[in-house]
């Protein structure tokens, strides 16, 4: 058994129809189970209970065994001094307040329906290929699943924007700098995301502002900081021009790249090579001097398509790497790549920005996400095979949140679908 099962039992009162008593024989009437706490401290805040006829307001702590109180060293933590009830599966030793009076204890073993724990155990030990409930999820009503998936997109959006807000505090509320870092991370994709972010962090954004009017300078700066320029033994005249510009900028702005992570080419499709992606990003900032402002003001998907309609510089029409010619091909930013940028960076930053400005921006953000086609990857394909097909990117983003934060780690009791499958109302009614 896992402690999360007892959290579920307490939060949703799964002892219905059975009176609760403390080990001392006092009846416990639960007026409110309290607010579930996922962080440090007691498991439920501000519960309201009548114990032996007396009203108590305080916190509730849940453990598998009462001895876990001491195993987790709660006796040395003042945050647990106002616990009014200790809820356990087994009561193996008495637990006391600092003044040596016993903490009231309720034992759940024997009052929780056996069929409920059997259902939970079945989910946890199920033999599955993708998710634990894959054989049963089709029995859950579609509106319930769809509603939860849409809720999870807001959850995913909020989590991303929260991280953006934390970085904003570190960068003295410089929104453009935060956006540049986030966009660089997205341009690097999963392979070079950390490398591109480290490039952005190695240059003050004030320097980017100063050089963005000159595309050659901006490309030289990004390529140089990325370590993609060969200072000695340049491969062709274009690289020589970039090297000269970079060495000048390096002296002028006191640049260094000691902590920059090396960008990788290995196992990347040529169109995702870091050379092309950095050149495309430089194009976006060069073409629009108020790039960040334009993005924040955009309210429709078509406006954002126009803003991100960029391409690598002319040299890259016939190259993927320095010094090696290839057949002619304009290296434009594809619509699919724009969708990735919007979902991973632009929409979370827009949501966070409007929130901090006290503006209503979430509706336009969600509306844009719903205009974007649903993503296609192995996770989404697996859900589709189970009959759960996203109609747009907001829903596919919700499914990704569902898989990575609920299904994969086995948090079935935090999931609306899992709780529905755990319901034993019909079984109890037939007993």
pLDDT in tens, 62-111: 999 999 999 999 999 999 999 999 999 999 999 999 999 999 999 999 99
| b (16+ CB within 10 A) / e for 252-270 | eeebebeebbebeeeebee
- Measure CA 252 to chain center: 39
Amino acid 357: pLDDT: 83
Residue 54 CB burial class (10 angstroms; 0-12, 13-18, ≥19): exposed
CA distance 142 to 133: 15
Domain boundaries, the chain: 3-112, 114-170+374-431, 172-292+300-349+358-371
- How far apart CA 401 and CA 381 sit, in angstroms, is 15
The residues facing 83 across adjacent strands are 59
d(CA 113, CA 95): 26
pLDDT band at 120 (very low <50, low <70, confident <90, very high): confident
**DSSP tag of 413:** G
pLDDT (tens digit, 9 = 90+) per residue, 237-291?
999 999 999 999 999 999 999 999 999 999 899 999 999 999 999 999 999 999 9
Q: How far is CA 314 from the centre of its chain?
A: 37
Buried b (16+ CB within 10 A) or exposed e, 153-182: bbbbbeebbeebeeebeebeebbbbbbbbb
* Stated pTM of the model: 0.81
Read off the pLDDT of residues 360-369 as tens digits, 9 standing for 90 and up. Answer: 777 889 999 9
């Amino acid at each position: 058994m896992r402690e999360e099962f007892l959290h579920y039992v307490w939060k949703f009162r799964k002892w219905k129809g059975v009176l609760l008593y403390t080990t001392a024989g006092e009846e416990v009437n639960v007026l409110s189970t309290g607010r579930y706490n996922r962080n440090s401290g007691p498991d439920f805040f501000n519960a309201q209970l009548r114990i032996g006829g007396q009203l108590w307001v305080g916190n509730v702590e849940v453990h598998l065994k009462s001895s876990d109180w001491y195993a987790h060293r709660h006796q040395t933590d003042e945050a647990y001094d106002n616990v009014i009830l200790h809820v356990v599966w087994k009561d193996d030793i008495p637990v006391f307040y600092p003044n040596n009076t016993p903490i009231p204890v309720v034992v759940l073993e024997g009052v929780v329906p056996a069929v409920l724990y059997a259902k939970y155990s079945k989910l946890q030990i199920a033999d599955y290929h993708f998710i634990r409930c894959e054989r049963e999820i089709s029995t859950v009503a579609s509106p319930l699943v769809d509603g939860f998936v849409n809720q999870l997109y807001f959850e995913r959006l909020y989590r991303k924007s929260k991280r953006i807000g934390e970085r904003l505090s570190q960068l003295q509320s410089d929104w453009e700098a935060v956006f540049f870092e986030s966009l660089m991370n997205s341009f690097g994709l999963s392979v070079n995301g950390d490398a591109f972010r480290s490039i952005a962090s190695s240059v003050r954004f004030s320097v980017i502002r100063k050089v963005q009017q000159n595309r050659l300078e901006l490309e030289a700066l990004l390529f140089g900081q990325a370590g993609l320029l060969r200072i000695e033994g340049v491969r062709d005249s274009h690289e020589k021009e970039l090297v000269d510009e970079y060495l000048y900028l390096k002296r002028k702005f006191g640049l260094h790249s000691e902590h920059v992570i090396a960008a990788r080419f290995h196992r990347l499709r040529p169109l995702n090579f870091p050379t092309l992606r950095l050149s495309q990003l430089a194009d976006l900032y060069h073409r629009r001097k108020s790039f960040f402002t334009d993005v924040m003001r955009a309210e429709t998907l078509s406006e954002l398509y126009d803003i991100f309609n960029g391409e690598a510089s002319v040299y890259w029409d016939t190259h993927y790497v320095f010094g090696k010619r290839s057949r002619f091909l304009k290296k434009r930013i594809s619509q699919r790549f724009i969708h990735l940028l919007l979902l991973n960076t632009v929409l979370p930053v827009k949501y966070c920005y409007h929130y901090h400005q006290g503006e209503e921006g979430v509706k336009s953000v969600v509306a844009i996400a719903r205009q974007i086609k649903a993503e296609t990857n192995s996770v989404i394909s697996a859900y589709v095979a189970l009959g759960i097909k996203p109609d747009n990117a907001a829903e596919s983003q919700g499914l990704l949140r569902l898989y990575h934060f609920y299904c994969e780690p086995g948090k079935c009791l935090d999931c609306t679908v899992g709780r529905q499958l755990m319901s034993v109302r019909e079984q109890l009614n037939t007993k």
